[in-house]
Amino acid sequence: MRGFLRHVGLSVVAAIGLAALLPATATGAPLPVSYDFNTGIIAELTNPNGSLPGTNDWSCRPSAKHPDPVVLVHGGFASQQVNWGVYGPLLKNEGYCVYTLTYGAIPDAAWPLSAIGALAPLETGAAELSAFVDRVRSSTGADKVDIVSHSQGSLTSGYYVKFLGGDAVVANLVSLGGLWEGTGSGENTLGALQEQFGLPNVPSIPFCPACTQAVSGEPFIEKLNSGGSPYVPGVRYTNISTKYDELVIPYTSGQAPGPPGTDVTNIVVQQGCAIDHTAHRGLAATRRVAAFVLNTLDPLVVRTAPCAVVEPNSGVG
Protein backbone atom coordinates (compact mmCIF):
# COMPACT_ATOMS: atom_id res chain seq x y z
CA MET A 1 0.00 0.00 0.00
CA ARG A 2 2.90 2.35 0.72
CA GLY A 3 4.02 1.73 -2.85
CA PHE A 4 0.63 2.80 -4.21
CA LEU A 5 0.72 5.98 -2.14
CA ARG A 6 4.22 6.73 -3.41
CA HIS A 7 2.89 6.34 -6.95
CA VAL A 8 0.07 8.79 -6.22
CA GLY A 9 2.45 11.19 -4.55
CA LEU A 10 4.76 11.30 -7.55
CA SER A 11 1.80 11.99 -9.81
CA VAL A 12 0.76 14.87 -7.60
CA VAL A 13 4.22 16.41 -7.62
CA ALA A 14 4.22 16.25 -11.42
CA ALA A 15 0.81 17.89 -11.67
CA ILE A 16 0.74 20.39 -8.81
CA GLY A 17 2.18 23.20 -10.89
CA LEU A 18 -0.61 22.75 -13.41
CA ALA A 19 -3.25 22.87 -10.68
CA ALA A 20 -1.91 26.18 -9.46
CA LEU A 21 -2.50 27.67 -12.88
CA LEU A 22 -6.15 26.63 -13.16
CA PRO A 23 -8.44 29.68 -13.23
CA ALA A 24 -10.89 30.32 -10.44
CA THR A 25 -14.53 29.59 -11.25
CA ALA A 26 -17.00 32.43 -10.88
CA THR A 27 -20.57 31.66 -9.93
CA GLY A 28 -22.40 30.46 -13.03
CA ALA A 29 -19.21 30.37 -15.11
CA PRO A 30 -18.06 27.16 -16.80
CA LEU A 31 -15.94 24.93 -14.59
CA PRO A 32 -12.24 24.72 -15.51
CA VAL A 33 -11.40 21.53 -17.39
CA SER A 34 -7.80 20.38 -17.46
CA TYR A 35 -7.18 17.44 -19.78
CA ASP A 36 -4.80 15.79 -17.33
CA PHE A 37 -5.54 12.63 -15.36
CA ASN A 38 -3.56 14.03 -12.42
CA THR A 39 -6.22 16.66 -11.70
CA GLY A 40 -8.39 13.93 -10.18
CA ILE A 41 -5.55 12.84 -7.89
CA ILE A 42 -5.06 16.43 -6.76
CA ALA A 43 -8.79 16.75 -6.10
CA GLU A 44 -8.74 13.70 -3.82
CA LEU A 45 -5.69 14.90 -1.90
CA THR A 46 -7.09 18.39 -1.39
CA ASN A 47 -10.67 17.25 -0.63
CA PRO A 48 -10.48 13.72 0.79
CA ASN A 49 -13.56 11.59 0.12
CA GLY A 50 -15.20 14.56 -1.58
CA SER A 51 -16.92 15.02 -4.92
CA LEU A 52 -15.46 16.69 -7.98
CA PRO A 53 -16.78 20.10 -9.04
CA GLY A 54 -19.96 19.62 -11.03
CA THR A 55 -20.70 16.12 -9.72
CA ASN A 56 -23.16 14.62 -7.24
CA ASP A 57 -25.44 17.65 -7.20
CA TRP A 58 -28.60 16.00 -5.89
CA SER A 59 -30.63 19.07 -6.75
CA CYS A 60 -29.75 18.76 -10.46
CA ARG A 61 -32.65 18.21 -12.84
CA PRO A 62 -31.90 16.92 -16.36
CA SER A 63 -32.66 19.20 -19.28
CA ALA A 64 -34.77 18.30 -22.29
CA LYS A 65 -31.56 18.29 -24.34
CA HIS A 66 -29.79 15.88 -21.99
CA PRO A 67 -32.53 13.93 -20.20
CA ASP A 68 -30.29 11.06 -19.09
CA PRO A 69 -27.95 11.70 -16.13
CA VAL A 70 -24.39 10.40 -16.58
CA VAL A 71 -22.92 8.02 -14.02
CA LEU A 72 -19.12 7.71 -14.02
CA VAL A 73 -17.76 4.30 -12.96
CA HIS A 74 -14.07 4.24 -12.04
CA GLY A 75 -11.43 1.59 -12.61
CA GLY A 76 -9.25 -0.45 -10.28
CA PHE A 77 -7.40 1.24 -7.38
CA ALA A 78 -9.19 4.50 -8.18
CA SER A 79 -12.15 6.46 -6.81
CA GLN A 80 -14.91 8.84 -7.82
CA GLN A 81 -12.45 11.73 -7.78
CA VAL A 82 -9.15 10.14 -8.78
CA ASN A 83 -10.52 8.67 -12.01
CA TRP A 84 -12.75 11.50 -13.22
CA GLY A 85 -10.95 14.82 -12.80
CA VAL A 86 -11.58 15.56 -16.49
CA TYR A 87 -15.07 14.18 -17.02
CA GLY A 88 -16.80 15.58 -13.94
CA PRO A 89 -16.49 19.26 -14.88
CA LEU A 90 -16.47 18.56 -18.64
CA LEU A 91 -19.87 16.87 -18.63
CA LYS A 92 -21.32 19.40 -16.21
CA ASN A 93 -20.27 22.19 -18.58
CA GLU A 94 -22.01 20.30 -21.40
CA GLY A 95 -25.29 20.46 -19.48
CA TYR A 96 -25.48 16.98 -17.98
CA CYS A 97 -26.36 15.97 -14.44
CA VAL A 98 -23.21 14.04 -13.47
CA TYR A 99 -22.77 11.50 -10.69
CA THR A 100 -19.83 9.50 -9.40
CA LEU A 101 -19.37 6.85 -6.73
CA THR A 102 -16.52 4.96 -5.14
CA TYR A 103 -17.42 1.28 -5.06
CA GLY A 104 -15.68 -1.86 -3.87
CA ALA A 105 -13.54 -0.10 -1.23
CA ILE A 106 -12.58 -1.64 2.10
CA PRO A 107 -15.69 -1.23 4.31
CA ASP A 108 -15.46 1.50 6.96
CA ALA A 109 -11.84 2.22 6.05
CA ALA A 110 -10.36 5.58 6.92
CA TRP A 111 -8.85 7.80 4.25
CA PRO A 112 -6.75 7.20 2.16
CA LEU A 113 -7.88 3.55 2.05
CA SER A 114 -11.45 4.75 1.57
CA ALA A 115 -10.37 6.33 -1.73
CA ILE A 116 -9.05 3.06 -3.20
CA GLY A 117 -11.99 1.35 -4.84
CA ALA A 118 -12.76 -1.64 -7.08
CA LEU A 119 -11.06 -4.05 -4.68
CA ALA A 120 -14.09 -6.10 -3.57
CA PRO A 121 -15.55 -8.84 -5.78
CA LEU A 122 -16.96 -7.33 -8.95
CA GLU A 123 -20.43 -8.68 -8.10
CA THR A 124 -20.32 -6.56 -4.93
CA GLY A 125 -19.31 -3.48 -6.90
CA ALA A 126 -22.11 -4.09 -9.40
CA ALA A 127 -24.66 -4.27 -6.58
CA GLU A 128 -23.34 -0.97 -5.19
CA LEU A 129 -23.62 0.56 -8.65
CA SER A 130 -27.20 -0.70 -8.96
CA ALA A 131 -28.19 0.99 -5.70
CA PHE A 132 -26.43 4.19 -6.74
CA VAL A 133 -28.21 4.32 -10.10
CA ASP A 134 -31.51 3.83 -8.30
CA ARG A 135 -30.68 6.83 -6.12
CA VAL A 136 -29.73 8.93 -9.16
CA ARG A 137 -32.98 8.09 -10.94
CA SER A 138 -35.04 8.77 -7.84
CA SER A 139 -33.35 12.12 -7.28
CA THR A 140 -33.52 13.32 -10.88
CA GLY A 141 -36.78 11.70 -11.96
CA ALA A 142 -34.98 10.25 -14.99
CA ASP A 143 -36.13 7.01 -16.58
CA LYS A 144 -32.68 6.19 -17.98
CA VAL A 145 -29.03 6.92 -17.25
CA ASP A 146 -25.86 6.82 -19.33
CA ILE A 147 -22.74 5.16 -17.92
CA VAL A 148 -19.14 6.07 -18.74
CA SER A 149 -16.74 3.48 -17.33
CA HIS A 150 -12.99 3.13 -17.22
CA SER A 151 -11.00 -0.11 -17.10
CA GLN A 152 -12.42 -2.47 -14.47
CA GLY A 153 -15.48 -0.24 -14.36
CA SER A 154 -16.54 -1.82 -17.65
CA LEU A 155 -16.86 -5.20 -15.93
CA THR A 156 -18.73 -3.73 -12.97
CA SER A 157 -21.11 -1.87 -15.29
CA GLY A 158 -21.48 -4.78 -17.70
CA TYR A 159 -22.41 -7.16 -14.89
CA TYR A 160 -24.96 -4.68 -13.55
CA VAL A 161 -26.54 -4.30 -16.98
CA LYS A 162 -26.58 -8.00 -17.82
CA PHE A 163 -27.51 -9.59 -14.49
CA LEU A 164 -28.88 -6.96 -12.07
CA GLY A 165 -31.56 -5.27 -14.16
CA GLY A 166 -29.47 -2.45 -15.56
CA ASP A 167 -30.60 -3.26 -19.08
CA ALA A 168 -33.96 -1.62 -18.27
CA VAL A 169 -32.45 1.70 -17.16
CA VAL A 170 -29.12 2.17 -19.01
CA ALA A 171 -29.29 3.86 -22.41
CA ASN A 172 -25.55 4.13 -23.19
CA LEU A 173 -22.66 2.17 -21.70
CA VAL A 174 -19.33 3.68 -22.73
CA SER A 175 -16.15 1.79 -21.84
CA LEU A 176 -12.68 3.34 -21.86
CA GLY A 177 -10.05 0.61 -21.85
CA GLY A 178 -12.71 -2.03 -21.32
CA LEU A 179 -12.01 -5.61 -20.25
CA TRP A 180 -14.90 -7.51 -21.78
CA GLU A 181 -12.80 -10.60 -22.50
CA GLY A 182 -10.44 -10.16 -19.55
CA THR A 183 -6.76 -9.38 -19.63
CA GLY A 184 -3.62 -11.44 -20.13
CA SER A 185 -2.74 -14.37 -17.96
CA GLY A 186 -2.89 -14.23 -14.21
CA GLU A 187 0.88 -13.94 -13.87
CA ASN A 188 1.23 -11.26 -16.55
CA THR A 189 -1.70 -9.24 -15.24
CA LEU A 190 -0.55 -9.26 -11.62
CA GLY A 191 2.94 -8.28 -12.76
CA ALA A 192 1.53 -5.32 -14.70
CA LEU A 193 -0.55 -4.21 -11.71
CA GLN A 194 2.42 -4.51 -9.38
CA GLU A 195 4.57 -2.40 -11.71
CA GLN A 196 1.84 0.19 -12.32
CA PHE A 197 0.95 0.72 -8.67
CA GLY A 198 4.20 -0.18 -6.87
CA LEU A 199 2.66 -3.25 -5.25
CA PRO A 200 4.88 -5.93 -3.68
CA ASN A 201 5.97 -8.79 -5.91
CA VAL A 202 3.57 -11.44 -4.61
CA PRO A 203 1.77 -14.22 -6.52
CA SER A 204 -1.69 -12.85 -5.65
CA ILE A 205 -3.38 -9.70 -4.34
CA PRO A 206 -5.39 -10.95 -1.34
CA PHE A 207 -7.00 -7.59 -0.60
CA CYS A 208 -8.22 -7.28 -4.21
CA PRO A 209 -10.32 -10.23 -5.35
CA ALA A 210 -11.61 -8.07 -8.23
CA CYS A 211 -8.09 -7.97 -9.69
CA THR A 212 -7.94 -11.69 -10.42
CA GLN A 213 -11.58 -11.76 -11.57
CA ALA A 214 -10.55 -9.53 -14.49
CA VAL A 215 -8.13 -12.13 -15.88
CA SER A 216 -9.06 -13.90 -19.11
CA GLY A 217 -10.63 -17.29 -18.50
CA GLU A 218 -11.67 -16.57 -14.91
CA PRO A 219 -15.23 -17.59 -13.94
CA PHE A 220 -16.42 -13.98 -13.79
CA ILE A 221 -15.29 -13.32 -17.37
CA GLU A 222 -16.83 -16.58 -18.55
CA LYS A 223 -20.16 -15.68 -16.93
CA LEU A 224 -20.16 -12.14 -18.30
CA ASN A 225 -19.66 -13.56 -21.80
CA SER A 226 -22.23 -16.31 -21.44
CA GLY A 227 -24.47 -16.50 -24.46
CA GLY A 228 -21.66 -15.42 -26.75
CA SER A 229 -20.96 -11.84 -25.64
CA PRO A 230 -21.02 -9.45 -22.67
CA TYR A 231 -23.76 -7.38 -24.32
CA VAL A 232 -27.53 -7.30 -24.05
CA PRO A 233 -30.07 -5.93 -26.55
CA GLY A 234 -31.54 -2.51 -25.89
CA VAL A 235 -28.35 -0.91 -24.54
CA ARG A 236 -26.02 1.08 -26.79
CA TYR A 237 -22.39 0.05 -26.14
CA THR A 238 -19.42 2.18 -27.22
CA ASN A 239 -15.95 0.77 -26.57
CA ILE A 240 -12.90 3.06 -26.79
CA SER A 241 -9.49 1.37 -26.59
CA THR A 242 -5.84 2.13 -27.27
CA LYS A 243 -3.23 -0.06 -28.91
CA TYR A 244 -0.77 1.08 -26.23
CA ASP A 245 -2.78 -0.22 -23.27
CA GLU A 246 -0.33 -1.77 -20.81
CA LEU A 247 -2.97 -3.30 -18.51
CA VAL A 248 -5.60 -4.59 -20.95
CA ILE A 249 -3.68 -7.31 -22.79
CA PRO A 250 -4.48 -7.57 -25.61
CA TYR A 251 -6.24 -4.24 -26.02
CA THR A 252 -8.74 -5.95 -28.31
CA SER A 253 -10.33 -7.43 -25.18
CA GLY A 254 -12.18 -4.13 -24.99
CA GLN A 255 -13.25 -4.34 -28.63
CA ALA A 256 -15.46 -7.41 -28.45
CA PRO A 257 -17.79 -7.50 -31.47
CA GLY A 258 -21.52 -7.29 -30.96
CA PRO A 259 -23.65 -10.23 -32.11
CA PRO A 260 -26.89 -9.68 -34.05
CA GLY A 261 -29.48 -7.83 -32.02
CA THR A 262 -26.97 -5.75 -30.06
CA ASP A 263 -25.81 -2.17 -30.65
CA VAL A 264 -22.02 -2.03 -30.36
CA THR A 265 -19.54 0.55 -31.69
CA ASN A 266 -15.82 -0.12 -31.35
CA ILE A 267 -13.29 2.72 -31.54
CA VAL A 268 -9.50 2.51 -31.36
CA VAL A 269 -7.78 5.79 -30.51
CA GLN A 270 -5.12 5.28 -33.17
CA GLN A 271 -7.63 4.91 -36.00
CA GLY A 272 -6.90 8.05 -38.00
CA CYS A 273 -4.26 9.24 -35.52
CA ALA A 274 -1.15 7.07 -35.40
CA ILE A 275 0.83 9.67 -33.41
CA ASP A 276 -1.43 9.29 -30.35
CA HIS A 277 0.26 6.90 -27.91
CA THR A 278 -2.33 7.17 -25.13
CA ALA A 279 -1.90 4.45 -22.49
CA HIS A 280 -4.42 2.98 -20.07
CA ARG A 281 -4.81 5.87 -17.61
CA GLY A 282 -4.69 8.48 -20.36
CA LEU A 283 -7.93 7.14 -21.86
CA ALA A 284 -9.78 8.96 -19.08
CA ALA A 285 -8.10 12.27 -19.85
CA THR A 286 -7.35 13.08 -23.49
CA ARG A 287 -9.26 15.53 -25.66
CA ARG A 288 -9.51 12.95 -28.44
CA VAL A 289 -11.25 10.37 -26.27
CA ALA A 290 -13.44 13.06 -24.72
CA ALA A 291 -14.70 13.99 -28.19
CA PHE A 292 -15.61 10.36 -28.87
CA VAL A 293 -17.49 10.20 -25.56
CA LEU A 294 -19.39 13.45 -26.13
CA ASN A 295 -20.37 12.34 -29.65
CA THR A 296 -21.72 9.11 -28.19
CA LEU A 297 -23.77 10.78 -25.49
CA ASP A 298 -25.13 13.42 -27.88
CA PRO A 299 -24.86 12.27 -31.51
CA LEU A 300 -26.74 15.35 -32.72
CA VAL A 301 -23.71 17.53 -31.94
CA VAL A 302 -20.70 16.10 -33.78
CA ARG A 303 -17.28 17.12 -32.46
CA THR A 304 -14.05 16.58 -34.35
CA ALA A 305 -11.70 14.37 -32.36
CA PRO A 306 -8.32 16.16 -32.30
CA CYS A 307 -5.18 14.25 -33.22
CA ALA A 308 -2.06 15.12 -31.23
CA VAL A 309 0.97 13.69 -29.49
CA VAL A 310 0.05 13.18 -25.82
CA GLU A 311 1.81 12.07 -22.67
CA PRO A 312 0.62 8.45 -22.45
CA ASN A 313 -0.42 8.29 -18.79
CA SER A 314 -1.61 11.80 -18.00
CA GLY A 315 -3.17 12.44 -21.42
CA VAL A 316 -1.64 15.91 -21.58
CA GLY A 317 -1.01 17.02 -25.14
Computed over every residue of the chain, the mean pLDDT equals: 89
- Helices and strands: H and E segment counts in the chain: 9, 6
- What's residue 27's pLDDT? 38
Per-residue pLDDT band at 195 (split at 50, 70, 90): low
Give the residue-averaged pLDDT of 195-203: 47
Summarised one tens digit per residue, pLDDT across range 241-274 is 999 999 999 999 999 999 999 999 999 999 999 9
55 closest CA partner among 86, 76, 77, 13: 86
Task: Examine the pLDDT at 315 and tell me if it is beyond 60.
Answer: yes
Per-residue pLDDT band at 62 (split at 50, 70, 90): very high
Report domain extents, the chain.
2-297
- What's residue 207's pLDDT? 84
What are phi and psi for residue 183, nearest 5 degrees?
-135, 135
Per-residue pLDDT band at 16 (split at 50, 70, 90): very low
Per-residue pLDDT band at 200 (split at 50, 70, 90): very low
Give the residue-averaged pLDDT of 33-56: 97
Q: How far apart are CA 211 and CA 171, in angstroms?
A: 27
- What's residue 185's pLDDT? 55
Q: What percentage of the chain reaches a pLDDT higher than 70?
A: 85
Into which CATH architecture does domain 2-297 fall?
3-Layer(aba) Sandwich (3.40)
SS (H, E, C) 77-116: CCCCCCCCCCHHHHHHHCCCCEEEECCCCCCCCCCCHHHC
- What's residue 189's pLDDT? 52
Per-residue pLDDT band at 28 (split at 50, 70, 90): low
Contacts of residue 76, Cβ cutoff 8 Å, sequence gap at least 6:
118, 119, 151, 152, 193, 208, 210, 211, 214
Task: Examine the pLDDT at 202 and tell me if it is beyond 60.
Answer: no
Q: How far apart are CA 277 and CA 251, in angstroms?
A: 13
Give the residue-averaged pLDDT of 120-128: 98
- What's residue 273's pLDDT? 98
Calculate the alpha carbon distances from 215 to 46, 128, 155, 210, 247 in Å: 34, 22, 11, 9, 11
Order across the sheet with 145-150: list the strands.
98-101, 70-73, 145-150, 170-176, 236-241, 263-268
Give the residue-averaged pLDDT of 50-58: 98
Give the residue-averaged pLDDT of 235-244: 98
Largest CA distance in the chain: 52
269 closest CA partner among 244, 246, 294, 250: 244
- What's residue 22's pLDDT? 37
Task: Examine the pLDDT at 115 and tell me if it is beyond 80.
Answer: yes
- The backbone region for 45, taken as left when phi is positive above 0, alpha when psi lies in -120 to 50, beta otherwise, is alpha
